[in-house]
Homo-oligomer: A and B are copies of this chain.
Amino acid sequence: MTPTAIPTVTAEQTAALLKNIDVMAALRRVFTHLARGEAVQPAQKVVLLPDCKGDFINYFGVDMAQRRLGVKISPYLVTPDKPLITAWTLLMSAESGMPLMLCDASLLTVERTAATTALAVDLLAPPEARTLTLIGSGAVGRAHLRHVLALRDWREIRVLSRGSAPGADELSRELGLPQGVLKICTRAEEALENCDVLMLCTSSATPVVEMANLTRTCLITSISTNAPGAHEIPPAALNAMDVYCDYRQTTPDSAGEMVRAAAEHGWSRADIRGDLPELVTQACSKPDYSRHVFFRSLGLGLEDLAVADAMLTYLNQQDK
C-alpha cells in the first residue's frame, strides 16, 4: 500500500515533458467527464495569510473516470520586492487514496490556461476565421498563440502589447511562422479592425478593448487574473454578446465583468449560452455570429488535475 517514492516533478522537468503531452486532448476528456457527472469541480478555497502577507488558493478536482483526485496549492506571498507566486499540484489515486505525484504547476497552469482557450476557439470560432489578434504578449499570451496556431488557417496574426513587446521576427521564429504572417501593432484600431478571433491575455484590472474598434463580429476570449474584480472587457458589453464560459456553476461568481454586469447592467448568469462541458458534448447551441461571441475562462482545478494526470501517464509509459 505505502509507496516507497512519490515522483516529484520540478519546473524544469515539466518544461521538457510538456512537449510530449496533448494538453487539449486531456482537457477535452475531463470536460466530457464533468458533463457526464463522473468528474466534480468544487469551488476554489482562498486562505488569507495574517497581516496582509498574501494568501494561498486551493484548486480541487475529482475525476472518477480517470480514478484521480487532487489539489493545486498556489501561494501568493508578499515580499519587500515583488510578490512571490508558486503553484504545486498533488495528484492522488481515487482508488487507493495514495499520492501519485507532486509537481510544480507553474508552467502547467500557463499551458492549461492557454489550452482551455484553444479548446474554446476550436469549438466556437467560425471555420473560416483567418485573422487572429492577441492583446498581451507575455508567457501566457505566447502559449495561447502556440496552442491555437493549428486550429484555423490563419492568414494574419496581430499582436498588440503595451509592454516591451518582442519583435515580429523573434515571435515568428518562436512559433515557426513564415515571415509576414505575424505583425506587431502599436494602435488598437489597427489590431482590432476586421479580426475574427481576439484573445485577451493581460493582467489588466480594467477593460483593454473598446468595442467600437471591432469592425466585424468576432470571438473574444478572456482569462483576466485572480485579482478581485479584474476584467478585460466593459461589463456593459456582455448584454450585446453571446456569452460562453469554462464552467457555468462557478465562473459567474468570480469573473469580474460578469459580477459587475449582473450587479449594474441587468445581465444574468442564465444568459450564458454554454460552457465547456456542454460544448464538448454538443449540449448547447453554437453561435451564429449575428453578434460578438465572448468566452471567459477562470481556470479550474480539474484542468490542473487533467494536465498533471496526462504528465504522470506519460512518465509511467516511459518507465516501461
Contacts and interface: CB of A to CB of B under 8 A. Distances in A.
Q: How many copies of this chain sit in the oligomeric assembly? A: 2
A8 B10 contact: no
A37 interface: yes
Nearest to A83: B97
A44 to B, nearest CB: 10
Given A97-B84, A99-B102, A38 B50 contact: yes
Given A2-B12, A97-B85, A71 B92 contact: no
Contacts of A42: 45, 47
A77 B3 CA distance: 18
Interface stretch (A18-26, A51-59, A247-255): A51-59
A95 B83 CA distance: 11
Contacts of A12: 2
Interface residues of A, number: 45
8 contacts: A4-B10, A5-B8, A45-B60, A47-B62, A53-B94, A58-B71, A88-B90, A90-B102
Nearest to A4: B10
Given A71-B73, A90-B102, A97-B86, A40 B45 contact: no
Nearest to A84: B97
Nearest to A69: B56
A151 interface: no
Nearest to A36: B50
A185 interface: no
A284 interface: no
Contacts of A50: 37-40, 62, 64
B60 A58 contact: yes
